[in-house]
Amino acid sequence: MDPLLIAVPERIETARLVLRCPRPDDGAALNAAVSATLDHLRPWMPWAQQLPSVEESESYCRRQQAKFLLREDLVMFIYEIGSEGPEGPILGATGLHHIDWAARSFEIGYWRRIGLDGLGIATEAVAGLVRMAFDRLGARRLEIRMDDDNEPSRRLAERLGFTFEGVFGSDSLISGTWARSAERRYAALNTSSPVGSKCGTAFIS
């Protein structure tokens, strides 16, 4: 099937959160979230080495909306229920990346705004995304990868029942310099559906 014809929900609702694809005018809220969290993200995210301008963040939102519609990359911003929209604070982002529609294989990425420690925001958001991928997209394999030293990300994958597959070498381009690091890889297969009972999830196309 042509991926353009695949129905992908643009909005996911969990017990406390809304995940939705980027839209025009989200740039200012995204920039504020990244600005507040940049120092925390910098060790783990190659894209978080310097703060983008508000205009660059707005361009990113519009590009990601286009990629979402083309089914090339499925980024979703995280909001508290009732606060989604240009004026609402973005709590983080998650999404499905490195998509292989033929194999129904996806890699999950996520980050959370600083100051929300211990609230389970990232866990709930990723749980909702995983359930959508299994239930609506027919995912056969989901992967979560992180730096071997990223303990919080490792705990998230384990809480959601992902299986540890090993540590692999990884090369990243950071500030124009190639850096090699150890990358942990976790996976979930559609036969296990590990997060189906973790949180109630509503899908709105």
pLDDT in tens, 127-172: 999 999 999 999 999 999 999 999 999 999 999 999 999 998 766 6
Task: Give tens-digit pLDDT for 90-112.
Answer: 999 999 999 999 999 999 999 99
Query: Would residue 43 count as lying in a domain?
Result: yes
Asked if residue 45 is part of any domain, the answer here is yes
Asked if the structure places residue 176 within a domain, the reply is no
Confidence of residue 1 (pLDDT cuts 50, 70, 90): confident
Q: Does residue 180 have a pLDDT over 70?
A: no
Q: Which CATH number is 92's domain given?
A: 3.40.630.30
Give residue 191's pLDDT: 72
Q: Is the confidence at residue 44, as pLDDT, over 80? A: yes
Q: Total domain count for the chain?
A: 1
Cα separation, 26 vs 199, in Å, equals 27
- Model-level pTM greater than 0.75? yes
200 band by pLDDT with thresholds 50, 70 and 90: low
The per-residue b/e assignment along 136-162, b for 16 or more CB within 10 angstroms, e otherwise, is bbebeebbbbbbeebeebbebbebbbb
Mean pLDDT of 184-198: 71
Residue 47: pLDDT band by 50, 70, 90 thresholds? confident
Say whether pLDDT at 72 is over 90.
yes
Note whether residue 46 is domain-resident.
Answer: yes
Given a cut of 80, is residue 174 above it in pLDDT?
no
| Residue 41 included in any domain | yes
pLDDT at 138: 96
What is the domain range of residue 98? 6-142+199-204
Q: What's the mean pLDDT when you consider all of the chain?
A: 90
196 pLDDT tier (thresholds 50, 70, 90) = very low
Across the range 12-40, mean pLDDT stands at 96
d(CA 35, CA 136): 33
Beta strands, E only, 54-103: 74-80, 92-100
Contacts of 200 (CB under 8 A, 6+ apart): 14, 15
| 100 is a domain residue | yes
pLDDT at 203 over 60: no
pLDDT of res. 172: 60
Q: Do the domain assignments include residue 67?
A: yes
Type of residue found at 126? V
